[in-house]
């Protein structure tokens, strides 16, 4: 008679405790589980903690694009790589607020603003703070990714009403030096510490498909899950191979390895939003459905959704409908409302800056 291991045959009936003491070997064991067992376990934990038929939708806007002095090997915004990216100075506050309004109308509940900086200069802070206040006044949650923060900058953003700060670990501590040399892993942990201390929710995750081993994926999730508090949002990006960056010719990343990474993140951090962001365009509908099942419950609408009558936006909403998923915290958006709310096309180049 067919059977499977007792640990996964029954649905957990109680919420597992939040743990910050995961051992590397435990995480490696999760990655090595048979696929169906892993999916069942992850989904069971997911539905104990979230409405399994809701996905939170955030919009990401690049408020300052390119010319970044850092050397992140995957990133077209680094000044060190010739990617043809059009550099854009910090956007005007009013322009950012207009895009935030459009994002709200298309069903986003959180508006994320990303600037390609090593860290914000003090002279940039007044504009950035005005953006946070303005977006917040619209009733949207606010998120920013601006690079490394000093404690006083974190507390100024907190006072302005910033809800989330994104700062990714990118990969394991062991593999990190192969990807970035201009800031250390500890620099990243320090920024996350300042953000937490300032009372801002932490959004932190990484990128897979950069040539790392499974052990590195274990190492990344170990770092995230053993933080003093789990990040409230955990973006899992799939490498976008951009021509001109050192990672342009990286090998294809296996779909099942991606889905497993999402499932393990869900198991380790049961109450965190696990977010799909960069690399979604390489995932078909069936894969989206599987990663939602594995516990992903947040997606990024990129800036393109703000700027074109957007097939991508419609594709996401169409898939939601077909899967019976609702965007979290918003009334369903009708086709007519959606079409009416999309602004005229703007040509700004967009890159997901959420990989800071
Ligand atoms: S990921 Fe962020 S810090 Fe790194 S090069 Fe790109 S914009 Fe700069």
Q: How far is the CA of 191 from the centre of ligand 1 (A)?
A: 15
Ligand 1 contact, 75 CB (< 6 A) = yes
* Tokens coding 186: 């500890």
With a cut of 50, say whether residue 348 has pLDDT above it: no
Do the beta carbons of residue 99 and residue 65 sit within 8 Å?
no
Report the pLDDT value the prediction gives residue 341, as an integer from 0 to 100: 41
Q: How many CB atoms neighbour CB 227 within 10 A? A: 17
Which of ligand 1's atoms lies nearest the C-alpha of 71?
5
256 Cα to the center of ligand 1, angstroms: 27
Across the chain, mean pLDDT equals 85
Report percent pLDDT > 70 for the chain. Answer: 84
Could you report the per-residue pLDDT of 258-281, keeping only the tens digit for each? 999 999 999 999 999 999 988 888
The reported pLDDT for the residue numbered 159 is: 94
CA distances from 240 to 1, 115, 194, 204, 253 (A): 45, 18, 29, 18, 10
Closest residue CA from atom 1 of ligand 1:
356
Residue 203 designated active-site: yes
Active-site residue, 260 included:
no
Q: Which are the contacts of 90, defined by CB distance < 8 A and separation ≥ 6?
A: 63, 64, 115, 124, 127
Closest listed residue to residue 217, CA positions, set 254, 243, 248, 251: 254
* pLDDT tens digits along 6-40: 444 455 556 668 899 999 999 999 999 999 999 99
Please give the distance, rounded to the nearest whole angstrom, from the Cα atom of residue 327 to the centre of ligand 1.
29
Question: How many angstroms does the Cα of residue 315 sit away from the middle of ligand 1?
Answer: 29
> Measured from the CB, is residue 355 less than 6 Å from ligand 1?
yes
CA atoms of 31 and 351, how far apart (whole Å):
30
């Amino acid at each position: 008679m067919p059977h499977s291991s007792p640990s996964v045959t029954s649905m957990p009936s109680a919420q597992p405790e939040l743990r910050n003491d995961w051992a590397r070997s435990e995480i490696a064991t999760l990655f090595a589980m048979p696929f169906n067992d892993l999916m069942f376990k992850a989904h069971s934990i997911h539905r104990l903690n979230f409405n399994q038929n809701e996905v939170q939708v955030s919009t990401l806007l690049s408020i300052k694009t390119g010319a970044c002095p850092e050397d992140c090997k995957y990133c077209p915004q680094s000044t060190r790589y010739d990617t043809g990216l059009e550099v854009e100075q910090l956007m005007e506050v009013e322009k950012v607020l207009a895009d935030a309004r459009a994002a709200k109308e298309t069903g986003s509940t959180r508006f994320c603003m990303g600037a390609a900086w090593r860290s914000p200069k003090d002279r940039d802070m007044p504009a950035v703070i005005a953006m946070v206040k303005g977006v917040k006044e619209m009733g949207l949650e606010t998120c920013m990714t601006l690079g490394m923060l000093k404690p006083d900058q974190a507390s100024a953003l907190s006072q302005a009403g910033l809800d989330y700060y994104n700062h990714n670990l990118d990969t394991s501590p062991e593999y990190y030096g192969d990807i970035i040399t201009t800031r250390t892993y500890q620099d990243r942990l320090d920024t996350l510490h300042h953000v937490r201390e300032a009372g801002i929710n932490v959004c932190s995750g990484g990128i897979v498909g950069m040539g790392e081993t499974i052990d590195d994926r274990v190492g990344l999730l170990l770092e995230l899950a053993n933080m003093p508090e789990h990040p409230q949002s955990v973006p899992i990006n799939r490498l976008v191979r951009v021509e001109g960056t050192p990672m342009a010719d990286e090998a294809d990343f296996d779909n099942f390895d991606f889905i497993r990474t999402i499932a393990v993140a869900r198991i380790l951090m049961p109450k965190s939003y696990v977010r799909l962001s960069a690399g979604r365009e390489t995932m078909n509908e069936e894969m989206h459905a599987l990663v939602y099942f594995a516990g992903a419950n947040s997606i990024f609408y990129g800036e393109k959704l703000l700027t074109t009558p957007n097939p991508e936006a419609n594709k996401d909403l169409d898939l939601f409908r077909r899967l019976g998923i609702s965007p979290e915290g918003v009334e369903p958006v009708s086709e007519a409302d959606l079409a009416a709310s999309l602004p005229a096309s703007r040509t700004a180049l967009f890159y997901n800056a959420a990989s800071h």
